[in-house]
A = this chain, B = another copy of it.
């Protein structure tokens, strides 16, 4: 459906749009101007990179107008070392304060995750955000039912049954990523990337989070947990995060395994 329009008066003939297109759908003509290949109309994925790369703002693809795109965000003025330390300092948080999570903070995390990379710009990721404490507690119980009956993950179920909420840790918010499992590109990787961006954004905003792997396992196999989430027909849960304000902070950086790397 896409078509390419060029303002030839303004075009710098630098060819960046053609270089930038992930699918090589733009050719450069003999005079140096970009032209659509025969495949562009059918194959354009609407990523907008050709429009976004043009310093002159002289290229339009159906529905993507350079004048309507914001400027690329400037990198904040921090040292790379500090940013890597910031990422390293993000640790899984399993103890949350009683403070409610303002919806605006979740929205900022979602808006940040919206720009996470997506295979062929397909953007299959959909979100479920639960902030009802009673609902989260109910879901934890449904997951516990599953593991108790399955006889697995007893190290979580024993303390749960003794009164500690070890499944969703009493988190004030649960964020679930899901997608149509039958999408043309398997959506698991896109979903996990997006949720990782969400987690780092949450860390930037002073929130803490922990991946809800037990919930994902229960939802995959236990109809009551699955029905409780109410995901659309054919959708699967590809990840979940418990989110809240940390109740306390780690004083030290915990150890990790050494890296296993082959260089070639």
Interface residues of A (CB under 8 A from B): 16, 19-20, 22-25, 39, 43, 46-49, 51-55, 57, 64, 66, 69-80, 82-92, 94-95, 103, 108-112, 114-117, 119-120, 123, 125-132, 135, 155-156, 158-159, 164, 166, 185, 188-189, 192-193, 196-197, 199-201, 204-206, 210-211, 213, 230, 239, 247-257, 259-264
Taken together as a complex, chains A and B put the C-alpha atoms of A241 and B125 apart, in Å, by 20
- A119 and B19 contact, Cβ closer than 8 Å, known pairs A135-B264, A206-B80, A254-B69: no
Given the complex of chains A and B, what is the CA–CA distance between A92 and B53 in angstroms?
12
The answer to whether A23 and B117 have CB atoms under 8 Å apart is no
How many identical subunits does the complex contain?
2
In the assembled complex, which residues on chain B have CB atoms less than 8 Å from the CB atom of A123? 256-257
Cross-chain contact A24 with B155 (CB below 8 angstroms): yes
Cα distance A120–B64 in the bound complex, in angstroms: 44
A159 partner residues in chain B, CB cutoff 8 A: 24
Closest 8 CB pairs of A and B: A48-B254, A76-B82, A73-B89, A73-B85, A83-B204, A69-B252, A24-B159, A196-B196
The answer to whether residues A254 and B84 also contact, given A94-B20, A155-B39, A264-B129 and a CB cut-off of 8 A, is no
Residue of B nearest to A185 (CB): B213
Q: In the docked arrangement, what's the CA distance between A127 and B210, Å?
A: 24
**Residue picked from A89, A92, A103, A204, most chain B C-beta under 10 Å:** A204
